[in-house]
A and B are shown apart, each in its own frame.
Chain A
């Protein structure tokens, strides 16, 4: 996962003294008897690159449309800079949105599209032209000023839409699947450009996406949504390393899950009896747990190592390699345990051809450390 770690770690920044720029308070939106957004509360802070991530139909777009003012919540409040905007029409909200379809005005040139918002606030012409040029420079489309939208490629349209939504210098920009219509290569290039623009302008970005890799690459924080509810809100790193629910564990990346029951807890070391793993597992977990409680132990495939098989290792299992997927940078191995459970582990291919590569039907001993796995309660 490519993550620009130079950014402020927002997990530490989000103290209760900080005033959120957007506060969503218990917002619910129903369409007929369908709960598109179900009692969602979120706080988003100034300068964040905040992603709403989830599968299709999870309510992420509805939540964004509620923020833009295209929909009115069935219940709950939305605060912007402390001001209640729940019932404010879109044209009076001090934020802008870049729609998924881009929605460029087909009868206007690129320059006129970008100037549209500025004309609405009656900005003097000279100033307007200056701002439009500035925006076109920002997204590098100066040469397209007189083109009409139908004369543009998908990538160019995306840039025009971005320039148009940034022209009014909003404090908050909402982006609905901003890279959804682009092909893979262009998408990867544009990801970093979006982050650069966001950092340069210091605007709060709220992005809707279904692409976990995109969310991981760009975001400072991610809200993972499921069936209209928030499953977990965290930084990409914490969301990946310490998922708090089974859903967030399995939505981002791949993971091995072992069902089990708590045996004992000493300090922050929890002993778990897992039939699936064929023995006892040791996990570092700081929250207090009750003995006999049903939990799930989650281990990422890259945290599992091949060992000599000494009994001193805390978490160890033995199995037979059944499938190997060679991906170039890493290889993924599928291993069947004697309990019938199939687990995955990965090895990075450091050498071009290892002297003794692992092969099909080979018996391997695997283990992982107590602090590289986590316990899921939900």
Chain B
């Protein structure tokens, strides 16, 4: 009897669930709408500009649609901007240079950030929050001002060189500012928190009993790190790398302020094309190319995450 009643209820409930849930649609729809309006639409504009021709007019490119005659719409699609990017060594070099700088910076931030994240995760509980605050604290000041401050530190009669000379380590200032070294220093300084935070998040969640089990099975501390801690913190390493590699690829401020004329990065080149050369189509084509290059590692990461997710379920 009870069994039957339950079945009957079971049959009644599903249609009420199937009824369209407007609240849920709105909730999910809002961020989609936001992304479409402020990310997809501007990107389509950029894509459109990248396919047109530069011209001396306002705005400085020829329109996509060249008029309507006898009911026929003439569309002019121009791929020359893209062929230019891949033919002119200037752009290819800037792209490769950016990639190299981004890759080396990612590696260096990982090497410096990992021990810091590890130390914070292993610190006594009451120390963790203050230490994390110290990592986040620089964000309270404008990014631009913090990069400017490095000029004062690195220049020939700046803090660093004065300190070296006062200590008697050198008697001539070491040239750092306006060299690639200064760019690396600026990038590593600025992006270190983005590596430390996700690494800390994975390390703090790690079960300490795994290390105890490893130790009990005869594994020495440094080998425990290599065989247990490091592989299990891989998600944090990947997340941190993405958070550094992607923005550094398009970085403009740091190479512009700290780098010399030789440090040609794609972000700086884009700026020049837009504002100095007034060649919006080439600049747009550069932006689209950069986006495609960046999407590749991101898709790989997504693939990895999905595989992890499948493994878990």
Contacts and interface: CB of A to CB of B under 8 A. Distances in A.
Q: Do A and B come from one complex?
A: yes
Interface in B217-266: 217-220, 223, 227-228, 231-232
A121 B231 contact: no
Interface string A104-128: 1111000000001100110000000
Interface string A229-273: 000000000000000000000000000000000000000000000
A174 B231 CA distance: 28
B235 to A, nearest CB: 11
A106 B207 CA distance: 10
B218 A121 contact: yes
B311 interface: yes
A91 B215 contact: yes
B3 interface: no
A90 B215 contact: yes
Interface string A69-83: 110000000000000
Interface of A: 68-70, 89-93, 96-97, 99, 101, 103-107, 116-117, 120-121, 148, 150, 164-165, 168
Contacts of B142: none
B228 A90 contact: no
Given A68-B216, A117-B217, A117-B218, A101 B207 contact: yes
Contacts, number: 62
Nearest to B234: A107
A90 B231 CA distance: 22
B209 interface: yes
Nearest to B213: A103
A105 B220 contact: no
B294 interface: no
A219 to B, nearest CB: 22
Q: Which 6 A-B pairs have the closest CB atoms?
A: A117-B217, A120-B218, A103-B213, A103-B209, A90-B215, A91-B215
Contacts of B312: 150
Given A150-B311, A150-B312, A103 B210 contact: yes
B216 A90 contact: yes
B231 A96 contact: no
Given A101-B207, A103-B207, A120 B219 contact: yes
Contacts of B227: 116
A99 B232 contact: no
A99 B214 contact: no
